[in-house]
Amino acid sequence: MSETKRFDQLGLAPPLLTALDELGYTEPTAIQERAIPELLAGHDVIGQAQTGTGKTAAFGLPLLQYLDPGSQETQAIVLTPTRELCIQVTQALRAYAEHVDIEVVAVFGGAPIATQQSRLRKGAHVVVATVGRMMDLLNRRSLVLTSARYVILDEADEMLDLGFIEDVEKILRMCPSGRQTALFSATIPAPVARLAERYMYDPVTIRVTPKQLTVDAIEQAYVEVEPRNKTERLIEVLRAEEPEQAIIFCRTKIGAARLDDQLRDRGLRVKALHGDMSQGQRDGVMIQFKEHKLPLLVATDVAARGLDIEHVTHVINYDLPRNTEMYVHRIGRTGRVGRTGRAITFVTAKQRDEIPRIEHEAKIAIGEWEPPEERIEHAPRPRRREHRARKPEPKGARPGEQARDRAREAEPAAEREAEPAGGGGDANGLVKVFINRGSRSGIGEDELRWALTEGAVIPARQIGPIRVLERFSFVELPGEQAALALERLDGTKIEGKQVRVEYARD
C-alpha cells in the first residue's frame, strides 16, 4: 500500500496550502487524497463517504482553486439538505478561502430572505444553500445560475429522504451543461444513482468506509411487535436495558415529536432532535446529551447527522432504517472507543423478513431480544480462569467479552494500573476481581462491600482493598471468596445496575 500523500502533493495552490497549515491540517484523509486530484483534473466525482471523513475539504479545496476572483458572478453552488450542514460547509469554505479573494454566501430557511437577497446582490462567488431556499431565490430571480460551472450535492441521500430530489433536478437543469458536478452521499440508493447517471458526465466513483463504522463490538437484537403496541414495548425494553445513554431513531419529524411526547408522559427523561425545532432548541438538546445530562434522545437520521457521542451505550431503531448501510451507520454510534454497545431494532410482522436481509448484507447476526436476566441465563457462561495460571481465551468467546477486554485495554494508564501483573493472586494470596460498574453508575465502595457481604455472603474481614474507578471497579479477595463472588454476583444488580463480575485480566 502506498504512503499517504501530503496536501502539497495533491496539486493545491499555495494560498490554500497556507490556510490548511494555519488550520492545523497535517495530512489528507482518504476521501481528500483520492477526490482532490480527480476534481482538480476536471472530472465529475461520486464520493460515498460518511460524516466525519473530511469530505467538505475534499470538494471545497478544488472548488476554491477553480474560481475566478475577478468575476462577480456566482460560479459555484453547494446544495445541502439541512440548515446545520449549510452553515457548517459555509464556515469551512470561508476558512479555506482565508488567503484568496472569494466570497462565500450561505442561504437557508429560517432566516430573513431579504437579508440573503442583499448579500447575493453584493456578489457571491460561491452560494451554499438548502434546496428549498435556493428554489425560493431562483423563483424570485434573486439568484442566477448561468455561470455556476461547479456544482456540489452534499448528503444527497438525505435530500432524497427529505423529498428534495425533484427540486435538485430542477436546479441542475438551470446550471450550464458543461459544469463539473460532484455528488457526496453516505449511501447511494437507487434514486440517487439515477440522478447521477442523468446529470453527471462519466463520473469517477470513490468509496470510503471509515473505521469507526465497524459493528464487531455491538450486540444486536430485534423486537417483533404489533404497531399499536410499539411505544409500550419500547418502554419495557428501555426499563429492562437501563441504558446509560441511548439514541432512539425515528423515520420522520412528526414521528419523533410524537414519541418524545409519549415517553415524557410516561415519566422518562427524554428529548427530541428533529428538523421542526429551532436552532436554539436543537443546540440546547445537543449540549445536554453531549454533557451526559440527558439519558434518552429521540432523533431523525437527518437531525443526528454528524452526532458523535462517546458514551452512547444503546441505539434503538424504533423505525426500521431504509437500507442496510443506514442501519450500520445508525448503530455505529454505539460501541465506540472499544466498548461494547447494544443495538435493538423494532420490526412489525410485515417487516420481519428485513432482519435476515440486513444480516446477509452486513454479515452480522441479529438475534431475538431477551431481557438482560434471560440473556445471561441463555448465553454461554464466561470461562472462569484458574487464578494460579493464565489460560488463552476460548475460540468461542462472545464478542461482548472480547469487547470488554478491548475496552479495558483502551482505558487511560492511570486506570489500567489497577490490573494485576499476572492472572493469579498477589503475595498475600488475594485474587483481584473485576466489576464492570463504577462511580458513573452510582456505585461506591460501600455499595460493593454490602453486595459482597449480603449478596455473596463473604465475611467482611475477608474483603481486601476495593478500588472504584469511573467506569469499573476492582476488589481483592481470597481465592475461594473470589470464586464465590463470581458465582453469586455475576449478572445480578447493584444499585439497580446489572453487573458483570469476572477475574481481572492483564
Choose between 79 and 213: higher pLDDT.
Answer: 79
Q: What is the CATH number of domain 7-209?
A: 3.40.50.300
Question: Would you state the pLDDT for residue 57?
Answer: 93
Cell of 196: 447521477
Residue 395 has pLDDT above 50, yes or no: no
Cell of 408: 479495558
Choose between 21 and 339: higher pLDDT.
Answer: 21
Entry pTM: 0.50
Mean of the pLDDT values across residues 258-267?
A: 93
Residue 454 has pLDDT above 70, yes or no: yes
Distance of CA 506 to the CA centre of its chain: 30
Residue 215 has pLDDT above 90, yes or no: no
Question: Buried b / exposed e across 80-96, counting CB within 10 Å, b at 16+?
Answer: bbbbbbbbbbbebbbbb
What homologous superfamily does CATH list for 399-503? RRM (RNA recognition motif) domain (3.30.70.330)
Residue 405 has pLDDT above 70, yes or no: no
- What CA dihedral angle connects 24, 28, 29 and 33, to 10 degrees? 160
Residue 22 has pLDDT above 90, yes or no: no
Which band of pLDDT confidence, cut at 50, 70 and 90, is reported for residue 503? confident
CA–CA gap between residue 52 and residue 22 (Å, rounded) = 20
Question: Would you state the pLDDT for residue 340?
Answer: 56
CA–CA gap between residue 91 and residue 97 (Å, rounded) = 10
Which band of pLDDT confidence, cut at 50, 70 and 90, is reported for residue 118? very high
Q: What is the CATH number of domain 212-369?
A: 3.40.50.300
Question: Would you state the pLDDT for residue 425?
Answer: 58
Residue type, 279: Q
Residue 67 has pLDDT above 90, yes or no: yes
Q: pLDDT digit string (tens) for 140-160?
A: 999 999 999 999 999 888 788
Matching fold, domains 7-209 and 212-369: yes
Residue 310 has pLDDT above 70, yes or no: no
Residue 382 has pLDDT above 70, yes or no: no
Residue 399 has pLDDT above 70, yes or no: no
Residue 136 has pLDDT above 80, yes or no: yes
Task: Mean pLDDT check: name the lowest of 49-58, 167-176, 453-462.
Answer: 49-58
Q: pLDDT digit string (tens) for 155-213?
A: 888 788 778 899 999 999 999 988 999 999 888 888 999 999 999 999 999 988 654 44
Domain ranges of the chain: 7-209, 212-369, 399-503
Which band of pLDDT confidence, cut at 50, 70 and 90, is reported for residue 91? confident
Which band of pLDDT confidence, cut at 50, 70 and 90, is reported for residue 103? very high
Q: How far is CA 425 from CA 428, 433, 462, 478, 482, in A?
A: 7, 10, 14, 8, 10
Which band of pLDDT confidence, cut at 50, 70 and 90, is reported for residue 378? very low
Residue 227 has pLDDT above 70, yes or no: yes
Residue 385 has pLDDT above 50, yes or no: no
The share of the chain scoring above pLDDT 70, in percent, equals 82
Which band of pLDDT confidence, cut at 50, 70 and 90, is reported for residue 232? very high
CA–CA gap between residue 145 and residue 160 (Å, rounded) = 22
Cell of 183: 455528488
- Report which of 328, 324, 308 is spatially closest to residue 245, judged by C-alpha positions: 308
**How many Cα atoms occupy the beta-carbon half-sphere of 472 within 13 Å?**
27
Which band of pLDDT confidence, cut at 50, 70 and 90, is reported for residue 414? very low
Which band of pLDDT confidence, cut at 50, 70 and 90, is reported for residue 41? very high
Question: Would you state the pLDDT for residue 334?
Answer: 73
Q: What average pLDDT does the chain have? A: 81
Which band of pLDDT confidence, cut at 50, 70 and 90, is reported for residue 306? low
Q: How far is CA 80 from CA 118, 146, 152, 157, 348, in A?
A: 21, 20, 9, 10, 33
